[in-house]
Amino acid sequence: MIVLERRPAPSTAWQGLSPVLAVALTLVAGGLMFAALGNDPFAALRAIFWDPLFGEFAFFFRGQLLIKAAPLILIAVGLALGFRAGVWNIGAEGQYIVGALAGAAAGLAFYPADSRLILPMMIAAGAAGGIAWAMIPALLRVRFGTNEILVSLMLVYVAENLLASAAVGWLRNPDAVGFPGSRDLSRWGSSANPELIAGTGAHWGVAAALFAVVAAHVLLTRHITGFHIRLTGAAPRAAAFAGVNGGRLIVFCFAVSGGLAGMAGLFEVTGPAGQISIDFASGYGFTAIIVAFLGRLHPIGILLAGLLMALTYVGGDNAATSLGLPVAAISAFQGMLLFFLLAVDVLTHFRLRWRPRGVAA
Amino acid sequence: MLLSIEGLTKRYPGVVANDDVSFQIAAGSLHALLGENGAGKSTLVKAVYGLVRPDEGRMLLDGEPYAPDDPRAARAAGVTMVFQHFSLFDALTVAENVGLGMTERVRQRDLSERIRTVSRDYGLPLDPDARVGDLSAGERQRVEIVRCLLQDPRLLIMDEPTSVLTPQEAQILFATLRKLSAHGTAVLYISHKLDEIRALCSRATILRGGRLVDECDPRTTSSRELAERMVGGTLATPQLRKRDVGATALAVDVLDQPPASPFGVALRAVSFEVRAGEVLGVGGVAGNGQDELLSILSGEVRSRIGCVRLGDRDVSRLGPTARRTLGLSTAPEERLGHAAAPDMTLTENTIVTGARRMGLVRGGLIDWKRAAIAAAGVIRSFDVRTSGPHAAARSLSGGNLQKFVVGREIAQKPDVFAVNQPTWGVDAAAAAAIRQALVDLAAQGTAVVVISQDLDELLEVSDRFVALNEGRLSDPVPTAELTVERIGLMLGGAAGGPMPEAAVA
């Protein structure tokens, strides 16, 4: 009988190794799944992981990589702060949408003015929108003890309806007769969030994501607030004993994650997406949860995980078009990654032991 | 001989819990099993009760080979056990709880009758129809004992049975155990309270580090000798220093503080003062408001204005950080998870309470170098056995972690220090060191509040004694004037005035 035995201290080796092992297991299981679907598993994995970086059309995919990775990293860094403290914001997707709506609305209120202040103002409004949306579950939790997982998750669906009403109603482009969707923000000079370095896909969101990674890393390793976040996650009663104000910490975590998600939405709507449309929500807020855990809730890890996840997105698109793989198979493949990561995670805290049957400890 | 244990050995990864242990228990004897935490007592009795299978050695019951596969087999052979922690359902009656633990099916009415008979025969007052949730800890223990007695055991194992009892309840238990012994049931009695073993048992087996180090008759051996054999060295009793008692450092006056959690105890009437340089001992049986008292001192629970005064400052509405800054330090009972974060390093755990007073945080940024130095300082001055400041709190033994937790607070030179159960589950050597540290702290002018269930400890370190019972605090009594009897009555809630003897039973 194989039994799990608790390690005296978490294994540092496994903390680093488990994402690698999880990726390896995902490759094997994913390959088997692709084979079962009737595709050559090696060709599929090559289309996902190799071609976007080094293939014939890599010049196109490489730009896509940062475009996809930036919002994932930006959102995941914020979520990870909360997750570290045991504060579960599952509704980043909603905060992302509301951030984009608030930012776009704030900008469009000045249309067609020409000012360099408009984009920064929109970014602030996007963050504010995300924070406002995140405050609903945060304050309900602090004031009434509601479950923030459920409230934040359900607010995603409210936000999606807000998005639809904006796209066909209050933010619709008045000049586009009959078509849903807002004005093209990426083409309006004052609001455009352009590619900063040609061919890389790097827009302001990429810069913000990098900044967020560094800031979060400093916060967690050097600042007393970051310490309190880790302490609350590791031992809530010890945190209360240390004098951490639990309610304030919840509000802080939701504000940071909501604000970053809102900013990610704003960068998306002013750049790659260009406009508020019914299908603007693309699931970044949910995928970021996977990215946060894949990156071990560690800012640097999230940076790498975000790039890897973006690669599976871009490569998945490539595989879907070039090999005709079903989109659902790509999603399942990404799901496997989280599944294996959480499963392998057990090895950080436990070791496997073989014990003859029938002996109790 | 009822039970012979021959060469019993049990190894766990990295530790030999029992190493070639051999001894015998005579039928009808009251046999003590002594040892510090980690000496191997639990593993040994678990082997006897069928919870652990030994790697080597054998056991003989009445001369027949005895190797129980599980507790059921042990019970069938006449071996039962009362654990330190009860496994009872609060919502069920005594009879229902007893019925759940029985292998055979018995009608509830017959069972109630049998419970009455057994409790009468052995002097264990117990109402079979009472709900367990309404019972005191002592009564709950009686339920467990009666449950065992119904099976007509030949050997009853009791693990630290008096840790939850008042002295009077303990006396009732001892009377029962003597009766059992007279009826021919042997009792294997695990404890580290030497006085009660000397009063009760006729034979003692002492374990240290998994090995049997001595067997003796505890009635003719002094407590000190027993303790030294247990520890394997000489024991230091705290050196009481002459202390100058100064001005009132802490004044608490709490009326009707509702419990913070649904399972907590309300503090109904708790008022006391502690002066600089004085140790106030707060005695009481667990669950009478000790945790609640500590949390209104630490600031984890705020109280009404005027309830907690530090010097001439009202700190009732302040949180833990502000109180610490003003000089009020505390150490809660639960070391892992409350006083310290298990998975964090000792350096990080130093920051938990030392951030301000040790100057480890400046402008919001943590000075890790200073924190590591501060942690190393605590480790050195309080002789914490660990690999260093980078070790996880979880990796320390109970005694060493407690030394660290107490040392961390003392190193901050508080004006008032309140500690709950400073030596609970701590080995004798560490306990002696911690008590000495508390006494020394008072000698330096700190007002110290020691909340403990260990009366010997309180008598040893405190100048004045108060008892906490159902959220009410008795009037203080100078420790020098105390007798065990008086303490027992105070713990039972009959505080202060003259006590009629009848109030005891």
Q: What is the pLDDT of residues A57-92, one digit of tens each?
A: 888 888 889 999 999 999 999 999 999 999 999 999
| Cβ contact B470:B490 at 8 Å | no
Which long-range contacts does A358-361 make (Cβ < 8 Å, 24+ apart)? A358/B53, A358/B69, A359/B53, A360/B51, A360/B52, A360/B53, A360/B70, A361/B12, A361/B52
Same domain, B212 and B95: yes
Q: How many CB atoms lie within 10 A of CB A201?
A: 24
Contact B355 A224 (CB under 8 A): yes
Angle at B265 between CA B261 and CA B267, to 5 degrees: 115
Residues of chain B in contact with residue A238, where contact means CB-CB under 8 angstroms, are: 337-341, 352
In angstroms, the Cα distances linking B389 to A177, A227, B360, B404 are 69, 17, 15, 11
Most A CBs within 10 A among B48, B352, B386, hence the mutation to make, goes to: B352
Mean pLDDT of A317-332: 87
Q: Which two tokens stand for residue B433?
A: 């060191």
Judge whether B294 lies within some domain: yes
Q: How many CB pairs under 8 A join A and B?
A: 86
d(CA B209, CA B195): 22
Q: Which two tokens stand for residue B93?
A: 């009656």
Angle at A32 between CA A26 and CA A34, to 5 degrees: 95
B73 vs A: CB within 8 A: no
Phi, psi of B30 (to 5 degrees): -105, 105
Q: How many CB atoms lie within 10 A of CB A12?
A: 9
B340 vs A: CB within 8 A: yes
In angstroms, the Cα distances linking B263 to B65, B212, B287 are 46, 41, 10
Contact B300 A240 (CB under 8 A): yes
d(CA B411, CA B373): 12
Cis peptide before B71 (omega within 30 of 0): no
Judge whether B423 lies within some domain: yes
Query: Closest approach of chain B CAs to the CA of A204, in angstroms?
Result: 29
Residues of chain B in contact with residue A248, where contact means CB-CB under 8 angstroms, are: none
Contact B364 A225 (CB under 8 A): yes
According to DSSP, residue A48 is labeled I
Which positions ≥6 away from B381 have C-beta within 8 Å?
B407, B411
Which burial class, exposed, middle or buried, applies to A34 when counting CB atoms under 10 A from its CB (0-12, 13-18, 19+)?
Answer: buried
| Cβ contact B467:B490 at 8 Å | yes
Same domain, B141 and B263: no
Given the cut 0.90, state whether the ipTM is greater than it. no
Q: Report the residue from A5, A222, A238 with minimal CB separation from B340.
A: A238
Looking up tokens 């008590």 gives B435
d(CA A235, CA B337): 5
**3-class DSSP assignment, residue B337:** coil
Same domain, B109 and B156: yes
d(CA B403, CA B396): 10
The pLDDT of residue B240 is 64
Same domain, B119 and B254: no
In angstroms, the Cα distances linking B444 to A360, B241, B313, B354, B413 are 51, 10, 21, 20, 9
According to DSSP, residue B103 is labeled S
Same domain, B264 and B208: no
d(CA A25, CA A336): 9
End-to-end CA distance of chain B: 36
Search chain B and give the residue with CA nearest A232: B341
Contact A227 B351 (CB under 8 A): yes
Q: Which two tokens stand for residue B491?
A: 């713990």
Which positions ≥6 away from B111 have C-beta within 8 Å?
B95, B98, B99, B102, B128
Domain locations in chain A as residue ranges? 38-325
In angstroms, the Cα distances linking B386 to B392, B399, B472 are 9, 11, 40
Which positions ≥6 away from B286 have C-beta within 8 Å?
B137, B163, B164, B453
Residues of chain B in contact with residue A246, where contact means CB-CB under 8 angstroms, are: none
Query: Closest approach of chain A CAs to the CA of B365, in angstroms?
Result: 4
Domain end, chosen from B204, B231, B258, is at: B231
d(CA A72, CA A81): 14
Same domain, B63 and B190: yes
Q: How many CB atoms lie within 10 A of CB B5?
A: 22
Domain end, chosen from B231, B256, B287, is at: B231
B348 vs A: CB within 8 A: yes
- Residue B96 sits in which domain range? 3-231
Strand order in the sheet with B15-25: B15-25, B3-12, B56-61, B64-65
What is the dihedral angle through the alpha carbons of A298, B344, A243, A223, rounded to the nearest 10 degrees?
A: -40
Residues of chain B in contact with residue A222, where contact means CB-CB under 8 angstroms, are: 365-366
At CB < 8 Å, which residues of chain A contact B?
5, 8-10, 222-225, 227, 230-231, 234-235, 237-243, 245, 353, 358-361
Tell which residue, A122, A106, A27, has the closest CA to residue A336.
Answer: A27
Query: Closest approach of chain B CAs to the CA of A104, in angstroms?
Result: 35
Contact A222 B320 (CB under 8 A): no
The pLDDT of residue B241 is 59
Q: Which range is most confident: A46-60, A299-313, B190-204? A: A299-313
Judge whether B383 lies within some domain: no
| Cβ contact B300:B498 at 8 Å | no
Helices B346-354 and B368-381 cross at an angle (nearest 10°) of 100
Contact B321 A243 (CB under 8 A): yes
Domain end, chosen from B171, B204, B231, is at: B231
Helices B167-182 and B137-149 cross at an angle (nearest 10°) of 10
B430 vs A: CB within 8 A: no
Tell which residue, B260, B188, B182, B251, has the closest CA to residue B35.
Answer: B188
Phi, psi of B206 (to 5 degrees): -110, 125
Is the pLDDT score of A162 beyond 70? yes
Contact A231 B341 (CB under 8 A): yes
B493 vs A: CB within 8 A: no
Residues of chain B in contact with residue A351, where contact means CB-CB under 8 angstroms, are: none
A4 pairs with which residues across the strands? A352
Search chain A and give the residue with CA nearest B341: A235
Q: Spell out the CATH class of A38-325.
A: mainly alpha
Most A CBs within 10 A among B338, B386, B396, B401, hence the mutation to make, goes to: B338
Judge whether B173 lies within some domain: yes
Same domain, B261 and B211: no
Search chain A and give the residue with CA nearest B320: A243
Q: Report the residue from B12, B324, B342 with minimal CB separation from A235.
A: B342
Same domain, B46 and B170: yes
- CATH code, B288: 3.40.50.300
Number of domain units in chain B = 2
Same domain, B265 and B213: no
Query: From first to last of its 505 residues, what are the pLDDT tens digits of chain B?
Result: 899 999 999 887 667 888 999 999 999 999 999 887 667 888 899 899 998 889 999 999 988 999 998 888 898 899 999 887 778 888 888 988 888 877 677 788 888 888 888 888 888 888 888 888 778 777 888 888 888 888 889 999 998 887 777 777 888 889 889 998 998 999 999 877 777 888 899 999 998 888 898 899 988 888 778 877 877 766 566 666 566 788 899 999 988 888 877 667 889 999 999 999 999 999 887 778 888 999 999 999 999 999 999 999 999 999 999 999 999 999 998 888 999 999 999 999 999 999 999 999 999 999 999 999 999 999 999 989 888 999 999 888 878 899 999 999 999 999 999 999 998 777 778 888 999 999 999 999 999 999 998 777 888 899 999 999 888 999 998 888 877 677 777 776 654 433 333 333 3
Number of H helices, E strands in chain A: 14, 2
Same domain, B191 and B286: no
Which burial class, exposed, middle or buried, applies to B481 when counting CB atoms under 10 A from its CB (0-12, 13-18, 19+)?
Answer: exposed
In angstroms, the Cα distances linking B38 to A235, B34, B35, B207, B427 are 25, 11, 8, 9, 8
The pLDDT of residue B309 is 95
Is the pLDDT score of A146 beyond 90? yes
Judge whether B379 lies within some domain: no
Q: Which helix (H) or strand (E) holds B208?
A: strand B203-208
Same domain, B134 and B67: yes
Q: Which helix (H) or strand (E) holds A349?
A: helix A327-349
Contact B348 A227 (CB under 8 A): yes
Q: Which two tokens stand for residue A164?
A: 């639809």
d(CA B67, CA B133): 36
Is the pLDDT score of A356 beyond 60? yes
Q: Which two tokens stand for residue A116?
A: 């360099």
Judge whether B366 lies within some domain: no
Same domain, B283 and B427: yes
